[in-house]
Structure 1
Amino acid sequence: MNLRNILVPLGAVALIVFGFSAYGWAGVAAVVGGLVMWALLHFTRLVNVMKKAAKRPIGYVGSAVMLNARLAEGVNLMHVVAMTQALGELLSAEGADPEIYRWTDGTRSHVTCEFRQGKLVKWTLERPPADADTPAQGA
């Protein structure tokens, strides 16, 4: 079990108890109002990310190379979806851990990301081989 699942509710209860002991019921109202505002901010961000992702094809990203450069270990899946503005193509079995997603760009380069418990643990960039008979750009 994730320790965050225990500490966040305990922290909320501790804040409510502190609010009551310091300011009475007005303190409880202020703390609960702050907690509701915090929850609404996270919900609004989630809805905006999903609204943008709904407008793009699944597994598409503008540039796989730029996505590869911007990724960092430990970020959650929602953060990656916010960066790509698209849902990833699920490669692993549904509900399996680790979850493996892929984002592909227009040049068929793709980034494959592995998430364990919702956090990014590793990713790989794969670029298609350049054809020998195709002239280089700018030449």
Structure 2
Amino acid sequence: MEHIRTTKVEHVKLLDRFSTSNKSLTGTLYLTATHLLFIDANQRETWILHHHIAAVEKLPLTTSGCPLVIQCKNFRVVHFVVPRERDCHDIYNSLLQLSKTGETSNYKSLCGMCLGNKVMRKIPRVGFVFEKCAFNKFDV
């Protein structure tokens, strides 16, 4: 939660590239610890999980607001136009921090099977499978 500065932005436009009528939806953008949520005037919700975000791009300021483009790992591309540049910058920085996928965390230390930088050579108790040990059995 320490990465979130702005949790709610009103009057945000969601641009739909695939719509035949060049209309945009106006609604409220919410930023939570796990999701980005857009609710339009018809109460239709658009949810984006932070771990699905591949890239966030803040485009130059226009007369209608500050464009924010979010590219997802499931090939979804979402265009928001935020009315205030400061709110857009806060959302942009928050999404950059929240969408990081464990670059700084060490997954080996999460399983509790490491001693320093050395991985234990024993196969753990029943229920855990150590891939490195399993592959060593087959000389892979």
Q: TM-score, normalised by structure 1?
A: 0.29
Larger strand percent:
2
Q: TM-score, normalised by structure 2?
A: 0.29
